[in-house]
Structure 1
């Protein structure tokens, strides 16, 4: 089991994160509290991940300025059932990206197993928690050093170099997240 805390810089947050491995993959449970602009929020998420770092199920519960929301997802072969209905917009999408945590960057980093200077474009379900929105997004990861990945959102001009540890967990995501404790 791995437990850590990430500090959200832009989103003024703290995340208490646990990763438990079992024989079939990993289970992630996390709690985030923070404030951003005029929004005070909490977020709890649980992810079920297979041995190849493919997400199989997720539950995301949030409360933003006292308004509660819940988003669930379950992978059914190459389709996604989102809140109990198959969503054709996400067919064959291997990953999710939750806006308020750096953890979902670990999924493609560990799954793709890129060699240095190798890059790959991927499709993700981007979950914008603060705006209660899930949408398809194309991203690209390039491994630029043993522990550094260049992240590129191909729908916007957002780019960043992400530093990870031996487990592919984010240590520093400039301007967004820093790992501040680990057990």
Structure 2
């Protein structure tokens, strides 16, 4: 369906991203390489998403300074099992946010279908790949125009005006990511 390359400005990375679709799901497979603060990293992630853009499962395999890690999550009804452990703190969460990619912003953008000048707060499983940390966070999306959203991280007051294409994929995320090429 769609293949593109994102440049990570802050994360000094390149991401080769592929989104496929069938009758029931979207499937994402992506590879990221980069170097940040003397950490050389390679990350591959796979995400299974339903037609409403809600995460059903994910697999993140990373190698950071030669240390390999795997993070696997699957949604079981309204609960999340992550690395074979049920995590009640993520009950009813629909979305994840992977630190090294702008793709996970597409999930709430396409799911919420906000009209212009409307906004919504959401609960998200935040995955900080480089620091091996996963936690719940609250975010807010406000649609400011047809192809722009104001993204806000509620806990730390971080804000960014994100530009998207007609499919909801990020084209510009100031100071963090920009799309370089697409097929």
Into which bin does the TM-score normalised by the smaller protein fall? over 0.9
Partner of 2:140: 140
SS at match of 2:130: helix
Partner of 1:171: 171
Partners of 1:77 and 1:120 in 2: CA distance: 23
Normalised TM-score (structure 1): 0.99
Task: Give 1:25 shift.
Answer: 1.7
Normalised TM-score (structure 2): 0.99
Partners of 1:102 and 1:136 in 2: CA distance: 18
Aligned pairs (5 A) from 1:23-38 = 23-38=23-38
Gaps of 5+ in 1: none
CA RMSD of superposed structures (Å) = 0.5
Spell out structure 1 runs of 4+ moving beyond 3 A. none
- Alignment coverage as a number of residue pairs: 183
Task: Give 1:12 shift.
Answer: 0.2
Task: Give 1:85 shift.
Answer: 1.0
SS at match of 2:166: coil
Gaps of 5+ in 2: none
Partner of 2:54: 54
Task: Give 1:7 shift.
Answer: 0.3
